[in-house]
A and B are shown apart, each in its own frame.
Chain A
Amino acid sequence: MSAASRRRNPKSGDPSGRQQRSTVQDGGGAAPPSRNALYLPLALTGLLALLSFLPRVQANDRLTWSFWGAVVVLLAWQGLLSLRLGQSGQGRSLTTVLRPQHYVQATVQLAVFAYWGWYWRPVYDFAGLLLAQLAFAYAVDMLIQWSRRENYVLGFGPFPIIFSINLFLWFRDDWFYLQFLMVGIGFLGKEFVRWHREGRRVHIFNPSAFALGLFSLVLIATGTTDLTWGREIASTLTLAPYIYSYLFVLGLVVMYLFSITLVAGTAAAVLFGGSALYSAWAGVPYFVDSDIPAAVFLGLHLLITDPSTSPRTPPGKMVFGALYGAGVFALYWILGTAGAPTFYDKLLCVPLLNLSVRGIDAFIQQVKASPVWEGLRADWVFTRPNLAHMGVWIVLFGAMSALGKTDGTHQGDRLPFWVQSCEEGRRNACDRLMQLEATYCGDASAWACNELGAAYAEGQIAPPDAELASAYFARACELRFQAACVNLLDPGDIARSDPRVLDLRLMLREAGRNLMDEPEGEIFERACGHGWSFACERTASL
């Protein structure tokens, strides 16, 4: 790494903040230790208490109690700390250090929230709860630090942690105390789960990925994913048009400043390659509606690129990225096979990868020491290697986009494709078809609910289950799908009919476009393009 790039890529993780101070903007020296410093977490606790009076918080008793519970915990902690400091006559100090990797990352994450929320309103509605988490995170971070040492390094550090957590998982309002718990565990993990690496004591896990991974495991183990918005978050990123291109451009900023291109690019290349190979072998896409799910694409830019918890050498970064790609690929299959929600694929492997960093470093050292490496070494050396890596990444992404592997329509978006693939007995096609139908049924597509009911009633592509069939027929019937009502009365003679216009509006939203206000003619045209033959006939007759 050149001296210039080292300046741009300061190593973080030293709790004393000694090394950072030489490489970052220091907003001022540490004030003399004083117990007055505790007014800062107190003020943040006050802010959290104030936020509990937001209409959204007040509208839900359990959410209000979650806030007040967090306030009580923080106050108790401050009280104990204040007591201890009073007894020992000690004070606490504060140093302001603004690290670019924090505020740049936070700005990029905020840009993702802004764009995504424009097309999926719950994100904007969540702003108050996000602010509350930030206040809570800063207070917890300060209290952890001041409980263990004299100085707290104030900066933008908690921003990317909170934003990163919330780009992947939120607990529903009824269970929001678990969100505070997740944030707290992220910071505790950062402080306490550490090891020695390259002569320094650093945190092992990316704090947000640690909390996300841990809670993902718990949610899967307890079958409680429905406590969170995880499923919606994973599927609504694509409501924002051209989300891949948007993330790609934002990613370039981070890549340029922090040399993470090899990690993200290699992960993307492995995923694109794996998807292409699987598709060529099985005849159906691996990830249902994309070659890389948008949330995974986001994850490979933001979740695995923390310099403190990833390898530092270029070959190490490539191995790390490749392992992430392979890990997501494998976990998607494992979770799907186990009947667990597949969107956890991008989260679960990050802590494992963080744990493997020292192994990767050692492996790279061994390889570098071997004669094979000497034989492979190129004689030419780039003066700006990161720019060269970025160039390759831009070409790769451009090629994938040109092949229709990113934004725009995708073969897996088309339900008739899955229906046909299922009929032809292609690998996993019936399971994928039912997954898609379950998603659309959840979105209130009565047609999809009726098809699911039919599948369970007939027992051909799913194990027969009369109770489940009735439940799906009832849901479709209440959504006024006549065939489903008939099926509910007589599940022994299954009735089917074509999707209604409303069903099509729900099922044709490839690339996230909202079709609710589109004219009927355009809906049928689009459906025809998706392979719905009845829609082609309707288009011709219009």
Chain B
Amino acid sequence: MRADGVALSETNATEKRMRWGVPVAEVALVAAVWFSLQLAGSDPGATTRRPGTDVPVPAELPGFRSDAWLLPDEPLLGFVEIPSGPFTMGSDSAEDPLAYDVERWLATQPQGIVDVPTFYIGRYEVTVAQYAAFVRETGHVVVDPTALQAPPDHPVTGVAWTDAVAYTRWLERALASSATTPSALSELLRTGWRVALPSEAQWEKAARGGDGRVYPWGDDARQDRAVFGVRGTAPVGSVACPECSYGLADMSGNVWEWTRSPYQPYPYDEADDRAGLDTEALWVMRGGAFNDTAQNIRAAGRGGADPGARRPFIGFRLVITR
């Protein structure tokens, strides 16, 4: 027995317990933290995201295929062929008094002729339901929660250019690997065609056709042909436009649409896309939105936005292109 009244055998026993106690406590602590993380449903250390199983995706949506990520129920899942050929790009302010200077081809020439090879473009803008299906399958982060809050058949908004590119990548893989993909589409993807955002030229050709019209339906603004000058988005394709080029819907109005073209001064040349890498990124969007005037929904109108911008009036549509 020591002077302080503690038996040495008791001391040794305590120290033995301590020797085991520390590692046991550590294991218990690891388990406690892990368990609390599971309860909280958080995995902040993970570098990959889990698919978003809690994202609401409608089981059925009239006019869209529930077995094909809610793409349109059409032979090519809503993709429309735009045949190859030249079209007039840019604006001539003599014919279109609403034209902006940035739409002028050259100082000496108001418009240019651009030859665009065949491509396929989506008849409609990408919908909330389609984007939700992507988020649910991939776990892609929804930075702006309002992106998925609109009705499922409205165009998705609040998505950055980078989100739109991610969607194209996913859809390409999904279509290429799915047995439900129409054989014509499968064949295209098998032979090197890709799902992408439209280039600025592809978009403008699809919008105005080969006859250089100002709006997809003709040269005059018509409130009954597009969603513009109103307070919110409308379901895609909800405004009938029998005169519109190639039967496409909402090329004017509803939401601005991201393109894959960086904002460059005209004359347009796709080869310029890799030029000016030392400038701050600005990407072209087209078509105007529900809250715009007739001036901004013209087929030749050009908008530019920061690729990280997520706004309630910017969405996108797709092309299948070489």
Interface residues of A (CB under 8 A from B): 178, 185, 192-196, 201, 204, 214-215, 217-219, 221-227, 467-468, 470, 474, 477-486, 488-489, 495-498, 500
Contact = CB atoms under 8 A, between A and B. Distances in A.
Contacts of B277: 482-483, 486, 495-497
A485 B281 contact: yes
Interface string B162-189: 1001100100000000000000000000
3 tightest A-B contacts by CB? A478-B308, A223-B45, A474-B162
Residue from A192, A215, A478 having most chain B Cβ neighbours under 10 A: A478
Contacts of A485: 161-162, 262, 281, 283, 307
B115 to A, nearest CB: 22
Interface in B7-34: 11, 14-15, 18, 21-22, 25-26, 29-30, 33-34
B281 A482 contact: yes
A447 B308 CA distance: 16
B280 A178 contact: no
Contact of A226 (B34, B44, B48): B44
Contacts of B11: 196
Interface string B271-284: 00110111111110
B260 A489 contact: yes
Contacts of B18: 192-195, 204
A133 B274 CA distance: 55
B107 interface: no
A224 B44 CA distance: 6
Contact of A201 (B6, B22, B37): B6
Given A222-B33, A485-B262, A480 B26 contact: no
Contact of B307 (A194, A225, A477): A477
A214 B274 contact: no
A464 to B, nearest CB: 16
Contacts of B22: 193
A214 B308 contact: no
A185 B48 CA distance: 32
Given A193-B18, A196-B11, 18 more contacts: A201-B4, A221-B30, A222-B45, A224-B33, A224-B37, A224-B45, A468-B47, A470-B169, A474-B162, A474-B166, A477-B161, A477-B162, A482-B277, A482-B279, A482-B281, A485-B161, A485-B307, A489-B165
B234 interface: no
A479 B279 CA distance: 12
A354 B11 CA distance: 19
Which range holds the interface residue count of chain B? Answer: 35 or more
A464 B4 CA distance: 65
A438 B30 CA distance: 27
A224 B33 CA distance: 9
B15 A195 contact: yes
Interface of B: 4, 6, 11, 14-15, 18, 21-22, 25-26, 29-30, 33-34, 37, 44-48, 160-162, 165-166, 169, 196, 260, 262, 273-274, 276-283, 306-308
A483 B4 CA distance: 74
A468 B49 CA distance: 12
A480 B45 contact: no
Contact of A225 (B15, B45, B166): B45
A479 B44 CA distance: 22
A500 B278 CA distance: 8
Nearest to B4: A201
A486 B274 contact: yes
Contacts of A495: 274, 277
A470 B166 contact: yes
A482 B30 contact: no
A322 B263 CA distance: 60
Contacts, number: 98
Contacts of A217: 26, 30
A482 B280 contact: yes
A222 B160 contact: no
Contacts of B281: 477, 480-482, 484-485
A222 B262 contact: no
Contacts of A483: 277
9 contacts: A195-B18, A222-B30, A227-B44, A477-B308, A481-B281, A482-B281, A485-B262, A485-B307, A489-B196
B308 A480 contact: yes
B184 to A, nearest CB: 25
B34 A222 contact: yes
A225 to B, nearest CB: 7
Contacts of A195: 15, 18
Residue from B21, B30, B277 having most chain A Cβ neighbours under 10 A: B277
B23 to A, nearest CB: 10
Contacts of B306: 480
Contacts of A218: 26, 29-30, 33
A446 to B, nearest CB: 9
B12 to A, nearest CB: 10
Contacts of B307: 477-478, 480, 485
Nearest to A534: B278
A23 B260 CA distance: 77
B165 A488 contact: yes
A95 to B, nearest CB: 19
A512 to B, nearest CB: 27
Nearest to B261: A489
B262 A482 contact: yes
B278 A214 contact: no
Given A195-B15, A470-B169, A477-B161, A497 B278 contact: yes
Contacts of A467: 48
B42 to A, nearest CB: 8
Nearest to A465: B47
A432 B289 CA distance: 47
A214 B26 contact: yes
Contacts of B4: 201
Residue from A222, A225, A468, A470 having most chain B Cβ neighbours under 10 A: A222
Contact of A486 (B25, B37, B273, B282): B273
A495 B162 CA distance: 17
Contacts of A484: 281
A478 B33 contact: no
Contacts of A226: 44-45
Contacts of A227: 44
Given A196-B11, A226-B44, A227-B44, A482 B278 contact: yes
B273 A214 contact: no
Given A218-B29, A221-B30, A477-B281, A193 B21 contact: yes
Contact of B33 (A178, A468, A479): A178
A267 B241 CA distance: 79
A484 B160 CA distance: 14
Nearest to A476: B281
B82 to A, nearest CB: 20
B259 to A, nearest CB: 11
A185 B33 CA distance: 14
A193 B34 CA distance: 25
B307 to A, nearest CB: 5
A194 to B, nearest CB: 8
Given A477-B162, A478-B162, A480-B308, A498 B33 contact: no
B59 to A, nearest CB: 29
Contacts of B165: 474, 488-489
